[in-house]
């Protein structure tokens, strides 16, 4: 990623603004370091926006955007709603607030495969401390909660017919009520940032609707921490906005894989590196 001089310079500026060694996170941090929420979030954000800038340099710009969880900050920054330096600062604080709200080892998340969302919700009724956290596709919902809540919820879901319940390698139960203190802590920083109305529609995880006035963005992002990610609905809304080609910017292909179920008729590709960005066909 940092072999591009413009990206390398940008990483130095953003790391300095946020008080972190972003260059280290992008080039030499090990898996254990990157598993920490406070490290993973700024690294993911930067990679997404840097790749968007490399595409823009080739004349490839989005008509609309969305991001899954912290990726929403990347989408907002790429849409000129917030400078990249400010966005990195925001997600560093977001990571700290989330880590404080649910210390590592006390909660986690798991993917439920083979049940629709309504069946997952019904199976979890009466099970304490576990909630749907990501509505990813019609057959994949991620749940999150305390370790005991996940254990009991997993048992109930298997009884309900889930094909698999797979634990995820994450540090806490994101997008659940356990994160409400994190949202409150983050809001004071969000209110101080210089937000602009996005230059293209950015669909919010919480509402599955495009953001409106700049003043509403901190309100929605506070709610995002403790509310489910409605990804299937976000993709459906993007389709309604006329999107027929989806480009995933980041180190993995999870969202691209979901498109086979969410919008099989649409084109979808993943871009993880600058060299991959060079291979994206021009519009």
User: Active-site residue numbers?
Assistant: 69, 175
CA distances from 110 to 11, 121, 170, 171, 235 (A): 32, 14, 9, 12, 22
Task: Count CA atoms within 13 Å of residue 117 on its CB side.
Answer: 15
Task: Label residue 70 exposed, middle or buried (CB < 10 Å: 0-12, 13-18, 19+).
Answer: buried
CA distance 256 to 262: 10
Residue in 48, 55, 93, 52 with CA at minimum distance from that of residue 73? 48
Residue 218 CA, distance from chain mean position: 16
């Amino acid at each position: 990623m940092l072999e591009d001089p413009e990206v390398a310079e940008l990483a130095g500026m953003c790391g300095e603004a946020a008080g972190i060694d972003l260059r280290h996170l992008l080039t030499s941090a090990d898996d254990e370091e990157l598993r920490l929420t406070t490290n993973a979030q700024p690294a993911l954000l930067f990679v997404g926006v840097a790749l968007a800038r490399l595409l823009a340099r080739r004349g490839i710009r989005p008509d609309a955007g969305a991001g899954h969880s912290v990726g929403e900050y990347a989408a907002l920054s790429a849409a000129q709603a917030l400078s990249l330096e400010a966005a990195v600062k925001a997600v560093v604080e977001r990571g700290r607030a989330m880590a404080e709200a649910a210390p590592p080892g006390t909660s986690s998340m798991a993917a439920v495969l083979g049940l629709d969302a309504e069946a997952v919700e019904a199976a979890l009724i009466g099970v304490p401390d576990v909630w749907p956290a990501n509505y990813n596709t019609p057959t994949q919902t991620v749940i999150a909660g305390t370790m005991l809540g996940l254990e009991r919820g997993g048992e109930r879901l298997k009884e309900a017919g889930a094909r698999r319940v797979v634990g995820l390698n994450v540090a806490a139960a994101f997008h659940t009520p356990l994160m409400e203190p994190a949202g409150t802590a983050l809001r004071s920083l969000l209110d101080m940032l210089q937000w602009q109305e996005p230059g293209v529609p950015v669909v919010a995880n919480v509402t599955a609707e495009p953001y409106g006035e700049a003043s509403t963005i901190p309100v929605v992002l506070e709610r995002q921490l403790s509310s489910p990610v409605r990804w299937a609905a976000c993709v459906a809304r993007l389709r309604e906005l006329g999107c027929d080609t989806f480009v995933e910017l980041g180190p993995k292909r999870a969202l691209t894989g979901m498109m086979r179920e969410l919008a099989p008729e649409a084109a979808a590709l993943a871009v993880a590196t600058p060299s991959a960005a060079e291979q994206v066909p021009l519009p």
